Structure 1
Amino acid sequence: MSSIPHAELEAFRTEFPILQTRTYLNSCSLGALSRRSMGYLGEYQALWNTMGASAWYELWMGRIGQLKQTVATMWNADEKEIALSPSVSGALSSIASAIDYTKRNKIVVAELDFPTLVYQWLARNDVEVVRVPSDDGIGVPPERWAEYVDERTALVATSHVFYGTGYVQDLAPIAKAARDAGALFLVDGYQSAGQIRVDPRAVDADIYVAGPLKWLCGGPGIAFLWVRQERIAELRPTIASWFGARDQFQFRNDELEFRDDAGRFSMGTPAVPTVYTALGGLEIFAEAGQDRIYERIAALTEDVVTLAQEAGFELKIAEDPARRSGIVLIRNDDAPAAVRRLADKNIIVDHRAGYVRVSPHFYNTPEENRKFIAALRG
């Protein structure tokens, strides 16, 4: 009998066409596309073909609002704290432009963070970027952050889950280090939203960014930005879009008044097709149940870890299972070639820096884990 919980969630496999022809274990790169999302995308196309621009005012703006409310509910937040952006880069650019660096010009990040998170500040010549080192290349001891954060620190920015190791950070000590120094705390949740619980206020973040591309199965073109209500008024961007303006449909071009809510950080017209596909993914996510999804991903992850270790593979993962997420790195001398060979067998995974990267989602099965490990051994 399988020890993987919530076998009832396998009923959702029929929602994802790729699972009918492939063993898809690469959700940390791109979540599978659902029939629900494809149907909603067809609805969007039909509205464009029948209503034209009037669809904007009568329906599409409502769908944008629905997406923001859905994200707010999922994150235990207020809709006024949620903004949409074309990408995490766009969201971070807006936030970066709103910070005063004249008295505090130090940004603290982790050396294991995804480049996008760091590039926003490396591109500036008025800040110093300090990277907190890792001893093992897997995680960063949470107590270490306090050593690098001081009265010059404007922002502490780091990942909830490290993309290259799947390591889940303990955010509370990092938040405390930022708070004690009077710095803002920003969390990149692009690899966490959809596979572990996200509650930005509970982890004492000021800013949290994520998107539907990966574990939320909504596709590219939109990012979700949460800004703590108490911080919004003090953060005034110096880059702007008409979606960030108060009373945007007054079309004033002689003055700019920002919205009072997190919408002030919106970067341009949202990608309406992705609004629709994201709603499809989030709808399935809600129906499947967050807690059930998280429990199943954790069990499938431990299953693939056990199978890989029994097969003699070297893994790059956290020693403590509590710090693991649904991303497993398996050492391979020629990881790109291994990924290509697996693809020839209709097994889809990815690779990073000498490792094959596998990421089981709630719609995967223990049988697929075994099939993957057997093929990788072969």
Structure 2
Amino acid sequence: MIDIDRLAKQLIPHYSHFNVSERLLFTGHSHQAWPDVALEGQAEYFHDAAKHVDKKWDYAMEKTEILRNYLRDYYDDPDGFYCREESTHVLFVSWMSALDLKNKPKIITTDAEFHSLFRQLHRLEEEGLEVSYVPINPDEQFVERIVAEMDDRTSAVMLSRVYFESSLINHHLTAIARAARERGILVMIDDYHGTNVVPLSIREADLEDCFILIGGYKYLQWGESNCFLRFPKNCELRPAITGWFASFSTLEKPRDLSPTEYDHSDQRFASGTYDPSSQYRAAKVVELFKEQGLTSEVLRDQYVQKVELLKEHFLKQDLDPSLIKLTHTKDIATHNGGFLSITSPKAREIRAALLENGIFTDARDQILRFGPAPYTTSAQIEQVMIELKKTISTL
């Protein structure tokens, strides 16, 4: 077990621009601070663009490959492909456009998905797509409910590894993927709240034929425009929504009416020209994480300890459970992701009041979320819960 305060104090000097030691930043599940080296990455891109002009793309793609290799290592996935895009939405839409929705118009998902997935599926549902929203509770029969929805009209199952409201971990992906595989159904996993929080070996979990959405905005500290779609190396899907970056190898060929080609590479679901500065920034963060020994095991250990500490200090405040309570009481180490989820009918009011005092949290409907980060100290954790009690007393 690591010493979380020792780790935090080791890291704090590297986040001087965000002033993490003097601020209660508890949106670690949504937007973590960027280390100072990220600014160096931004400047490096400008200088490379000025020096190399149109040849800058060779250098930009080297940075993207650094990010891909980080993810391959994190997921124990040496053979996986990782397509980069500015958002998971761009990747999701490209992937959706490759499904045989004419003949298999059914999608199975859950009632606990983030807006990026829910909104797009619901809008397509209005245009005739058939979407089955399976309740995640009770958890004991979750797999059976998912499998019961699978039929020969189903294109895909889409679900999270860590739920964005409750912070609960979905422990059923292997069983669901196995059932889907037997029926020729694709599986898309939203891992925005799992990457860098809950270690996953894709090989050991038998998820090598699955598709995984990954975002750098939260726990990776990569900031915006660093999202990836992980897909199997033998993938032959042909997205209908496709950009010219998906087939560099054919650009010099004469144009004709033959079928659209795709490179057998990480670029299969890519769009077009993008701003590479975000990859430069993120590559610097990857380097810092390695220098500071922030392995997947260290990251998991410190998140577990900090969320457990948040829970402990929350319970110490002895607040009225009719006004505010834990979203769940399951064991943090086994069942929880990287933030503490609290339920209150006044969640948004509480969040707004905390923000007025410079305390950063966030709220989703009746859910109030407190997300620590590797640079968060135990003193800050205790303080934020004391401030929470003060805030509630004024409402």
1:237 is displaced (CA, Å) by: 1.1
1:341 is displaced (CA, Å) by: 2.9
Partner of 1:358: 370
Equivalent pairs, count:
372
Mapped pair 1:56 → 2:67: no
Tell me, in whole angstroms, the C-alpha distance in 2 between the residues paired with 1:194 and 1:15.
19
1:344 is displaced (CA, Å) by: 3.6
1:9 is displaced (CA, Å) by: 2.0
Q: 1:187-234, CA deviations, whole angstroms, 9 ceiling, x for partnerless residues?
A: 00011112111333443331001111000001111311110123x12x
SS at match of 2:21: helix
Mapped pair 1:9 → 2:7: yes
**Distance change (3 Å), C-alpha of 1:99 and 1:278:** same
Q: 1:234-261, CA deviations, whole angstroms, 9 ceiling, x for partnerless residues?
A: x111111111014165376546421012
**Distance change (3 Å), C-alpha of 1:310 and 1:352:** same
Partner of 2:96: 96
Tell me, in whole angstroms, the C-alpha distance in 2 between the residues paired with 1:116 and 1:368.
31
Partner of 2:182: 180
SS at match of 1:21: coil
**Distance change (3 Å), C-alpha of 1:227 and 1:252:** farther
SS at match of 1:52: helix
Tell me, in whole angstroms, the C-alpha distance in 2 between the residues paired with 1:215 and 1:249.
37
Specify the code of the residue in structure 1 equivalent to 2:285: G
SS at match of 2:133: strand
The answer to whether the Cα contact below 8 Å between 1:69 and 1:79 also exists between their aligned partners in 2 is: no
Specify the code of the residue in structure 2 equivalent to 1:240: T
Specify the code of the residue in structure 2 equivalent to 1:300: K
The answer to whether the Cα contact below 8 Å between 1:308 and 1:373 also exists between their aligned partners in 2 is: yes
1:5 is displaced (CA, Å) by: 3.5
Q: Bigger CA drift: 327-336 or 297-306?
A: 327-336
The answer to whether the Cα contact below 8 Å between 1:37 and 1:278 also exists between their aligned partners in 2 is: yes
Mapped pair 1:339 → 2:351: yes
SS at match of 2:262: coil
**Distance change (3 Å), C-alpha of 1:55 and 1:194:** same
SS at match of 2:228: strand
Residue 211 (structure 1) aligned to one of 200, 208, 215: 215
Partner of 2:328: 317
**Distance change (3 Å), C-alpha of 1:4 and 1:350:** farther
Tell me, in whole angstroms, the C-alpha distance in 2 between the residues paired with 1:152 and 1:112.
23
Mapped pair 1:87 → 2:87: yes
Tell me, in whole angstroms, the C-alpha distance in 2 between the residues paired with 1:312 and 1:180.
50
Specify the code of the residue in structure 2 equivalent to 1:371: Q
Residue 327 (structure 1) aligned to one of 331, 339, 352: 339
**Alignment TM-score, normalising by the size of structure 2:** 0.86
Specify the code of the residue in structure 1 equivalent to 2:328: I
Tell me, in whole angstroms, the C-alpha distance in 1 between the residues paired with 2:192 and 2:52.
34
Long gaps (5+) in structure 2: 320-324, 391-395
The answer to whether the Cα contact below 8 Å between 2:106 and 2:156 also exists between their aligned partners in 1 is: yes
The answer to whether the Cα contact below 8 Å between 2:246 and 2:269 also exists between their aligned partners in 1 is: yes
Q: Bigger CA drift: 355-364 or 338-347?
A: 338-347
1:140 is displaced (CA, Å) by: 7.9
Tell me, in whole angstroms, the C-alpha distance in 1 between the residues paired with 2:254 and 2:63.
25
Tell me, in whole angstroms, the C-alpha distance in 2 between the residues paired with 1:161 and 1:280.
27
Tell me, in whole angstroms, the C-alpha distance in 2 between the residues paired with 1:269 and 1:198.
32
Tell me, in whole angstroms, the C-alpha distance in 1 between the residues paired with 2:222 and 2:72.
16
SS at match of 2:268: helix
Tell me, in whole angstroms, the C-alpha distance in 2 between the residues paired with 1:55 and 1:275.
13
Tell me, in whole angstroms, the C-alpha distance in 2 between the residues paired with 1:339 and 1:4.
31
Q: 1:159-210, CA deviations, whole angstroms, 9 ceiling, x for partnerless residues?
A: 1111111111012222233223321111000111121113334433310011
What value does the CA root-mean-square deviation take over the aligned residues? 2.4
1:346 is displaced (CA, Å) by: 3.0
1:333 is displaced (CA, Å) by: 4.2
Tell me, in whole angstroms, the C-alpha distance in 1 between the residues paired with 2:140 and 2:384.
26
**Distance change (3 Å), C-alpha of 1:263 and 1:139:** farther
**Alignment TM-score, normalising by the size of structure 1:** 0.90
1:342 is displaced (CA, Å) by: 2.2
Tell me, in whole angstroms, the C-alpha distance in 1 between the residues paired with 2:63 and 2:39.
16
1:56 is displaced (CA, Å) by: 2.3
Q: Bigger CA drift: 278-287 or 366-375?
A: 278-287
